[in-house]
Amino acid sequence: MFQKSNKKGEFSRFKHLGKAGSQAHIDGVNAVIRRGKIEQLTSAIEALYESWLDLYPDEEKAGHRVE
């Protein structure tokens, strides 16, 4: 929680990033973009893992492939 800049004792979930185009604003926008990319990659990894388990259901239990 961040303290609101215009009112003492009140808090906001959002940090004020300053004027559009400022370095703080650009850094904040980049952080949001990175967070979105991380969430998408995490989702893709989970989907790939689930697909892999569908193909090799015994692999997770055994820990390695035995031929």
Q: Output the pLDDT for position 34.
A: 94
Q: Output the pLDDT for position 21.
A: 83
Query: In total, how many domains does the chain have?
Result: 1
Q: Output the pLDDT for position 44.
A: 96
Residues 40, 48: Cα–Cα separation, whole Å: 12
pLDDT tier at 2, thresholds 50, 70, 90: very low
Note the pLDDT tens digit of each residue in 7-35: 566 655 556 666 788 888 888 889 889 99
Residues 6, 14: Cα–Cα separation, whole Å: 13
pTM of the prediction? 0.56
Give the range of the structural domain holding residue 47, as residue numbers without chain letter. Answer: 19-67
Establish if 2 belongs to a structural domain. no
Establish if 8 belongs to a structural domain. no
Amino acid at 35: R
Residues 30, 23: Cα–Cα separation, whole Å: 10
